[in-house]
Amino acid sequence: MDLFPFNFPMTFLKTAGIWQDRNVTLIYKLYGLVMHLFFLDQSIVLLTILLGHLVIDQDMIEFTEVFSKSLSIYLTTIKSFIFIINIEKIKSLMQKLSKLLKFSNYGNKERPLIIHYETKISKLTRYNYNFHFVICTLSVIMAILSSDRRLPFKTWAYVDYKNSDGAYMFMNCGVYLISLYTTGINSMLDFYPLIFMCYIIGMLEELGSYLKVVKFQEHVRNNHKYSNFSKKIEEFSIFDKILSNPKKYEESKINKGTVDLRTCISYHIKIKDFCNDVSGNYALHFMVQGFFSSLILCSTIFHLTKITFAEDSGLFLTTLMYAIIMILQILLPCHFGNIIFYKSHEISMNLFHSDWIYGDRTYTKNVKLIMEIMKTPMRIKVYGFFSVDYEIFKSVCNFAYSMYAVLNKKQN
């Protein structure tokens, strides 16, 4: 399989100059450095200068507005450095995933479960990027249509754009390009671990389908009952489409309709190892994302409660959409991490409630082995301290709300 969900993020990151692996040329390295300095590092300097002025002025509402946008730029910059440092490990993960998918195909070229999750995450990646693009574009349009010559987001400027039409349009174009670059990189960097997680979910569901059809069949011949553990794949959900066409089935059947349980055990071990590798490579990414997202969510909601739609509809809508993006950045990895946990737990439960106790000694020994291996469900963990799931999502939201309450009390 060609791992096509990675194509769009990889192309975007290469275009943005972030794909700094060992094989890039010196010209590309310089190109990436210039892009990073112009779009990210320059923005950090300008926003930090503006934050310093706002601290002196003690304007809490305007400070939180600029602070939330500044944190987003800081977060994107940090995640880009983490990605560049770990890019060789990420490429190794992709190679390991490709080998794992080849190991588990059992000669089958049609894998609806894997393809389903590939298509799902690929569409979600594009929808997410398009959502960012629409928000950035709407922010610029609303800023231009406003009567007070505002920018899409506040920043310290080199020129007095309020008294010059040319300078105002120049600043709007610059801020728009920075927004597209920053949000695009942020989105693509966030979706790299999500794509890996989707493949883990697909492989777990596929493994569960294999194990569901491990049947114990009793045959009575000459009044003698005995067990047959050929583990025939007669009701395998993955091959419903193939089984509906006998001729196609004859050409595509797997090992003449049998699957070795030991291969399933090996497959599960490899999936678990891969899941641990994803956790290890993206632990810092998830930790930084969770911390910054809670701060951004807190300051954004605080600012949102201080403005009304009637007073400034443009600012209210853009701030609301920005808050939605921040929530999605936390929610999506927690959602997929939660699915990984329940899919791995479901496999163990399904196998436990099968007819394995009626098997012969070798078969029951193999089933006991795989149940022992599956006793602890898979999780995406951050340095072993906490799991990326709905519980951590609730913790981040609670932390954001606590800080919001402190800010609100201080403002009052």
pLDDT at 109 over 60: no
Strand bridging mode 217-221 / 386-387: unpaired
**Strand, helix or coil for residue 333:** helix
- Closest to 61 measured CA to CA, from 326, 330, 319: 319
Binned at pLDDT 50, 70 and 90, residue 13 comes out as very high
Of 95, 121, 118, the residue nearest 203 (C-alpha): 118
Band of residue 354 on the pLDDT scale cut at 50, 70, 90: low
Beta strands in 152-204 (DSSP E): none
> What's the CA gap between 188 and 28, in Å, rounded?
19
The residue among 159 and 336 whose pLDDT is bigger is: 336
Q: Are 206 and 112 in contact (CB under 8 A)?
A: no
Q: Which of 203, 154, 137 minimizes the C-alpha distance to 340? A: 203
As a whole number of angstroms, the distance between CA 280 and CA 287 comes to 12
Residue 95: the pLDDT is: 93
Q: How far is 87 from 89, CA to CA, in rounded Å?
A: 5
Residue among 19, 50, 11, 49 nearest 36 (CA): 19
- pLDDT (0 to 100) of residue 351: 74
Tell me what the pLDDT averaged over the chain comes to. Answer: 81
| pLDDT at position 115 over 80 | yes
As a whole number, mean pLDDT of residues 188-211 equals 90
111: DSSP letter: -
- Give the pLDDT band of residue 125 (cuts 50, 70, 90): very high
pLDDT at 373 over 60: yes
pLDDT confidence of residue 196 = 96
pLDDT above 70 covers a percentage of the chain that reads 83
What's the pLDDT at 268? 84
Q: How many helices (H) and strands (E) does the chain have?
A: 13, 4
Q: What is the pLDDT confidence band of residue 359, given thresholds at 50, 70 and 90?
A: low
Provide the pLDDT confidence category of residue 222 given band limits of 50, 70 and 90. Answer: very low
**Greatest Cα-to-Cα distance within the chain, rounded to the nearest angstrom:** 101
- The CB-based long-range contact list for 236-239 (8 Å cut-off, 24+ gap) reads 236/209, 236/210, 237/209, 237/212, 238/108, 238/111, 238/112, 238/113, 238/206, 238/209, 239/108
> Pick the residue with more confidence: 214 or 296?
296
Among 223-227, 303-307, 365-369, 388-392, whose mean pLDDT is lowest? 223-227
At residue 183, the pLDDT reads 92
The C-alpha atoms of residue 285 and residue 19 are separated, in whole angstroms, by 17
22-79 pLDDT tens trace: 999 999 999 999 999 999 998 899 888 888 888 887 777 788 888 888 999 999 999 9
* pLDDT value, residue 412: 66
Q: What is the pLDDT of residue 127?
A: 94
| Chain position carrying tokens 């997410």 | 128
Q: What is the pTM of this model?
A: 0.84
Whether the per-residue pLDDT at 106 is higher than 50: the answer is: yes
pLDDT given at position 289: 92
